A and B are shown apart, each in its own frame.
Chain A
Amino acid sequence: QKEVEQDPGPLSVPEGAIVSLNCTYSNSAFQYFMWYRQYSRKGPELLMYTYSSGNKEDGRFTAQVDKSSKYISLFIRDSQPSDSATYLCAMMGGSQGNLIFGKGTKLSVKP
């Protein structure tokens, strides 16, 4: 089992939809959870950073961490065509001194 699992998609939604992106993980020592957005031919851009469990909101984006289920989510409200990108989850903690990434979910928001 890979340490971080993420459905690669592609995920296609109409403009204005609520998007839910998810990752599961196996290492219970992970404490730091991030979401990155990567546009084609660009480097990943940090969207959200959460420590331990709970929710964090930033504009149209909400990150949720459920450590009991080893499950993290990113919700995008009122999705826009400009949100079309690949979304990568990343996490670290315990003896893992570096970021472990999911493979990314490719999202397409249709006008």
Chain B
Amino acid sequence: KAGVTQTPRYLIKTRGQQVTLSCSPISGHRSVSWYQQTPGQGLQFLFEYFSETQRNKGNFPGRFSGRQFSNSRSEMNVSTLELGDSALYLCASSLVGFTEAFFGQGTRLTVV
């Protein structure tokens, strides 16, 4: 059974640019959630999608957005990148909710 796949694994972007990250969940999983992980703040919840609808949202600015497609694949977008957006972005999928969520390897974003 394939795990959660995140692409790309590494990204370097310049301040002010925008970026799109992709997540393919485990087959059959309909819930996809996104997290930002930094050494200072740890893992922080960004948002969760279920059946193409955003069901939960964390406390991040509107520059962070996401969407989910009919095949449950999800993308997150960060516009007007800031240096502080440098982090590991993790995607997790589960059957219906947050319990027993399985994480991908993450996308390491560096903003210069």
Q: Point out residues on A near B: beta carbons under 8 Å.
A: 32, 34, 36, 41-46, 49, 88, 90, 92, 97-104
B42 part of interface (Cβ distance < 8 Å): yes
Is the contact region of chain A dominated by helix, strand, or loop, or is it mixed?
A: strand
The reply to whether A44 and B90 form a contact with Cβ atoms under 8 Å apart is yes
Is the contact region of chain B dominated by helix, strand, or loop, or is it mixed?
A: strand
The reply to whether A98 and B103 form a contact with Cβ atoms under 8 Å apart is no
The answer for the CA separation of A24 and B9 in the assembled complex, in Å, is: 33
Q: Among B45, B55, B92, B99, which residue has its beta carbon within 8 angstroms of that of A49?
A: B99
A33 to chain B, nearest CB (A): 10
Q: Mark B2-37, 1 if CB is under 8 A from A, else 0.
A: 001010000000000000000000000000010100
The answer for the CA separation of A97 and B101 in the assembled complex, in Å, is: 13
Of all chain B residues, which has the CB nearest A97?
B56
